[in-house]
Amino acid sequence: MVRTYPRLRGSRLLAVTGIALLIAGLTADRPRARAVQPEGGPSRTAVRLFVPWLADGRLNPALTVRARLTLEGNPLTRTSCQSHSLATIGPDAWRCVTADPCFEPPLGRGDYTVVACSNGPWLNEVVVLDLRYPVPDPQACREMAGCRPPPDLSRPPWALELANGARCTPLLGASWFVAGLRANWACATADDQGHGVVIGDLDRGRDRWRAFYLPEDGYVAEQVDVLVAWY
C-alpha cells in the first residue's frame, strides 16, 4: 500500500530538510540481509541500469513506494528539479533539491510532474515526488543547452557493488582527499557492519574493474574487484 504523506508547503527550508532526511533514511529502519559472495563468479564487471518505470509510464510494481511527497520547488526559478543528476549519467535522472538521483518516466509515456528517487539500486524501494514545477518536456528541452544529454558509460557509475561485500553510493559536493585521491563513494556492507570509502577513479584496465577501498579507521587502501557498476 502506498503511504501518502502530507503535502510539503510553506517554508522551502522545511521541504528541503524533510526530503533530505527521508531520502537519506530510506534504509535506516529496515533489516538487511548479509551479503554472500559466491565461489568464482563472472570474470567481468556487470554493468546495470536502474529503470524504475515501465515502458507505459507506470512505476514498476516490483518497487516499494516508501513515501509520496509534494515538492514545491523554487518559485523564483520555477523549478522543482534544478539540474540533471550529479550522481548518475542517465538523461532521465534529475537532482530535485537534495534528492539525487530522481528518475522521470519514459519520454512521451508519463507525467513530467512526477519522479521516483532512489538511495541505492539494491534497496527495491523509492520515494515518489510530485513536482510543483515539471521537468522540461521534449519541446522545452530542445531549447535548453545540455538538456537530457545522451548517456556516457565512460563516466563514473552511480553505485558500486564490491567483492568484499561493500555497496557504495557517490559522495556529492564537498569531499576529502586520501593520498592525493578524492573520496568518491561512501560504502557499507549489506548488514551495515563494515563501512569505508572508495578513493580515486576506478581502474577499468581489465574486464573486472577494480577500486581502491579504504575501510573506516583503516590506514591501508587496497584494490578490490568491482562486481557490479550501476548507472
Detail the DSSP E strand segments found in 55-150: 64-71, 83-84, 93-96, 99-103, 114-117, 125-131
The pLDDT of residue 199 = 98
CA dist 8 and 23 (Å) reads: 15
CA dist 225 and 161 (Å) reads: 9
- Looking at the DSSP assignment, which residues form a beta bridge with residue 94? 84, 102
Residues 106-142 pLDDT 10s? 987 768 999 999 999 999 999 999 999 999 988 888 8
The pLDDT of residue 20 = 52
Residues 4-24 pLDDT 10s? 333 333 333 334 445 554 555
In the chain, domain spans: 12-41+52-142, 159-230
In this structure, are residues 8 and 70 in contact, taking their beta carbons and an 8 Å threshold? yes
**For residue 17, what is the enclosing H or E element?**
helix 12-24
Phi, psi of 166 (to 5 degrees): -75, 145
CA dist 15 and 81 (Å) reads: 13
The pLDDT of residue 33 = 34
Residues of the chain with pLDDT under 50: 1-17, 21, 26-39
